[in-house]
Structure formats: C-alpha cells, structure tokens
Amino acid sequence: MNKEEIVEFLKERTGYLKKGSAWLAKKFEIPETLAHEARREALGIYSNDNVHSPQFHEHLADNGLTMSDVKSVKFWQSANGEQRYSVVTQNQWHQFKNMKGEFIELIKEDAPKFEPIKYDKQLIDPVMLEISLPDIHYGKITGEGPKKLTDDYLKVLERLIARTSGFNVDRILLPIGNDGMNSEGLRKSTTAGTPQDDYMGWRESFRGYWQLMQHAIIYLSNIAPVDVIIVQGNHDYERMFYVGDLLYARFSNNPNITIDNSLNERKYYQYGTNMILHFHGDKVKSDKIPLLMATEQPVMWSETTFREAHLGHYHKEMLNEFMGTKVRFIPSICGNDEWHKNKAYVGTKRVGQVHIWSKDRGYEGNFQTNIVENGL
C-alpha cells in the first residue's frame, strides 16, 4: 500500500490512529517515517493545503509564532464555517529548568507592596465567607460581549458582600478557576482537545482573566484576610496553573492574602471545625468523595465535624449527602454558547453564591443573587 491508500484506510478505521506510528509501520511493513506521515495526514495534521495557506501563517504571526514553534496543528471549522486552528507548540521547558523559578522571582521582585490591614480581631461569633463564582468561562462566545461578563462578575461580587454586611467576617475564602477561562488558549480547545469558540485571542483572555481576579482579590482583602484557592478545570487545566503562579507572585508582598496553587488537583481547606474540599468535579463519582477526603487528609478529617466538597463543572446547583458529608455542585453566572443552546442545555439559572461558615457551628447557609436577562 502507498501512503495515500494507508491514509484512506486510517480515515475509515480511526481506531488504528491510536496505535502510534511504530505499530502502524509494523502492520503495513513500511518505514516508520512513512507511517508517521500517513498517521498525521489521516488526523488532519499538517495537511499541505492548510499548513501552507497564507491564513494559517498569518494566524501564527498574530500569536508571535513561526512554523518552528509548531509541534502539531488540527484544522477545523466553526459552526459558522470559519477556519479555525488548534495548535500545539513545541515543549521547550525542559531546556530551561530554572526559567520558571527565575520568572516567578522576577515577578515577585516587581510585585506591589501592601501594608498589613488592621482588621477587627475582637469579633463576636466570627464567620468565614466563601465566595462561589466558578465556571465563568472567560473568553467564551455567548452573544453578550467581553465586557458583560466582567461587569456581571464584579456586580455579583459586590451584591453578595452587601448581603453579608450583618456578619462579623473573620476570613474570606475565594476559590477561582473551575473553568475560569474557556480554553487552553492558542489551541482554542479544552485541555482534552474539544474545539471551542472564543471571542478574543489567547493573550487577551489570559490577561483579562487574571486582572479580573486580581481586582476581586484586592477588593475582598479590604474586608477581611483572603485565602485564594486555585481550582483547575477541564477547559483550562494548564492555564489556571499559570494564573495561580502569577497571582502567587503578584501577592507575595501582601500579608493580607494567601494563594494556594499547590500541585494537588484537589485542594483542602480547614476553618475551625469545618473541612472543605475544592476540585472541578468531572472525574470522581460523588459517593466516593467522603472516603477520598478521609483518606487524603486523615488529620484534618479527625479535627473537623462539618465536612463538604464544593465542585463546579455542571453550571447548576446540586446537593447530596453521604454519611454526613455533603457534596455540593455550585451554579455559575456564565451564559450559554451556541453549542449548549443547540443541544437544548438551556434554562439553568445564572447564579452567584456566598456561603456562610461558623467557626464552631459549621455551615449556616448561603445568600445568592441571580443574573436576569435585562441586568442584575
């Protein structure tokens, strides 16, 4: 079989594409280089007509890339017939083992310095506020425009804080991420490779998102000390880690703020007798979570009485309880894109929530505010 015949064979039997070039070379008794080329062509990678097109090279130039930076690229079309590209760049970080650490140190050196805020330490019946605004999918095309999401986020935040004005706030917990951004950027896809429609470039969405989070964190820190937890989602698993490191460096000189961007996908937090687990919620079955919590954090489990897991992913509120541990899926303020509308995933309320935690009595409820069609 020649290369063209092998390509057609692979397009008809896509399961063989997962086998890899070495396996294909052995099966067809051809050189591995030829098997590699046939497999890439069958996958739509480096199609000659597309890879040499002026539009593709213009796309690379707009994002500061050349062909030497490209490891692979898939060509596809949006629902409107527009040409799109999912580009994977060469991973060269192994050549610069100290670069990340040096980069973070440079940001820390340039980070603004904040004075300690004198909070009221004589609180009677103190509580912690947990701000729940996951899955905002910054950059996603929803028909509302980029400014609307930013305005919605900040207005919801202000309204939730106003709802809690009668409480003695000891600390504020702010989980961010959970698909904070809609895609992995230049690839314009989820982390697993599902194509996404974004209304801005990858640099604009990255900068816009972390600056929005920075604004929210500083705003909240004027009320009480803020503990930020970075939660990676299935749309932005890689980029949220980058955002977390950037915010960690930016607030390294701020004694009022902590950033948890540890390598653990599941983040645990203890406040008094409360144990709270945060992760995206797309990989673990709900009924397995209590045992997972006790296994991963046995000391925290033993020191607490009230235990919950707060998850995102589904953009709607769901609550279940397993042997006294609550698993709570948090709603989102994000609007629907065309894909969700076409699939009839409509009707879910766009909601922001703040949860109230007593240091001694556990979870004591929440306030919420809704986004309605004509504004807040």
Residue 368's DSSP bridge partners are 353
CA dihedral 311, 267, 297, 282 (to 10 degrees): 40
Measure the CA angle with vertex 308, ends 136 and 354; round to 5°: 45
pTM (2 d.p.): 0.75
d(CA 174, CA 189): 26
d(CA 114, CA 239): 26
Return the beta strands (E) in the chain as ranges.
70-77, 83-89, 127-132, 169-177, 226-231, 257-260, 267-271, 274-279, 306-311, 318-322, 325-329, 351-358, 362-370
Per-residue pLDDT of the chain (376 residues; tens, 9 = 90+): 777 788 778 777 767 766 778 888 888 888 888 888 777 777 655 445 666 677 777 777 777 677 767 777 777 766 666 777 777 776 554 455 566 677 778 778 778 888 899 898 778 999 999 999 999 999 998 888 778 999 999 999 999 999 999 999 999 999 999 999 999 988 889 998 898 989 898 999 999 999 999 999 999 999 999 999 999 999 999 999 999 999 999 999 999 999 999 999 999 999 999 999 999 999 999 999 999 999 999 999 999 999 999 999 999 999 999 999 999 999 999 988 776 666 666 778 999 999 999 999 999 999 999 998 665 6
Tokens for 153, please give them.
């986020």
pLDDT at 180: 97
In this structure, the strands spanning 169-177 and 226-231 are parallel
Q: Which of 254, 222, 299, 260 is nearest to 108 (CA)?
A: 254
